[in-house]
Amino acid sequence: MIPCTVIRHVEIEDLGYLGEACAAGGLACQYVDAQSLTSQTPATATALIILGGPAGAYETERYPYLHHEIELIRRHLDSGTPVLGVCLGAQLLAAACGGRVFPGELGKEIGWADVELTPSGLSDPLWTGFPARFMTFHWHGDTFELPPGAEILARTDKYVQAFRVESNAYGIQFHPEVVPKELASWIRAYRLELELERLTPKDVLNVPNEDDHRRLALRLGENIADWISRTTRGE
């Protein structure tokens, strides 16, 4: 089993379906609380996954651990460690690579909506087995400038949804990991945000096709495990 450090910002946002598939693919994932990070946290992970959360990647004064997190990501990137960021994790990865993160000018994306792979995404091994367009779950208001040297792999009509930096780092803006039955906890935790956006629980819970979502999430988890395994072997 390949050890993989998973930085979690809030308990309700975990690996979900991705964790199930990554474990089957040979990854031993261990959660680390983002708020426990300091400037002295060693960059010793064999593989690093950063999950989502309600903070903004630019709120480093309000949440000092975000600064430590960005520096930790940079040190792992410099060492060639495979790094995957999901939602806030993708924004932190973008920041670590020199991209600016900011509130999206086209509004928030919350709920189920299509994502389209770019030609680069269609040929990228992380998205093997995916159709050119697929339905997935979104919950974010921030976006980012593409970091220098990064390549767009997926997008919606509003924002970049996935990117790659060289061969050892991926950012995914949406939430492929989400287990629909767990979304009730998101609704409770982020209720005020839903109200401000004039959305209802139905907008979050109305899964278009739960079987398709699970199938693609598990496939992505398999692809992630394969990518991390190959990268750690130097292939």
Catalytically active residues are 87, 175, 177
Q: Give rounded-to-5 percent helix, strand, coil for the chain.
A: 35, 25, 35
Taking each helix axis from N to C end, the angle separating 88-96 and 64-78, rounded to the nearest 10 degrees, works out to 60
203-228: burial string, b at 16+ Cβ within 10 Å, e else: ebeebeeeeebbebbbbbbbbbbbbb
Contact 143, 95 (CB under 8 A): no
Q: Could you give the angle at which helices 16-24 and 210-232 cross, rounded to 10 degrees? A: 50
Tokens of 171: 């950012």
Residue ranges with strand state E in 9-55: 27-33, 48-50
Alpha carbons 125 and 138: distance in angstroms, whole number: 22
CA distance 147 to 83: 15
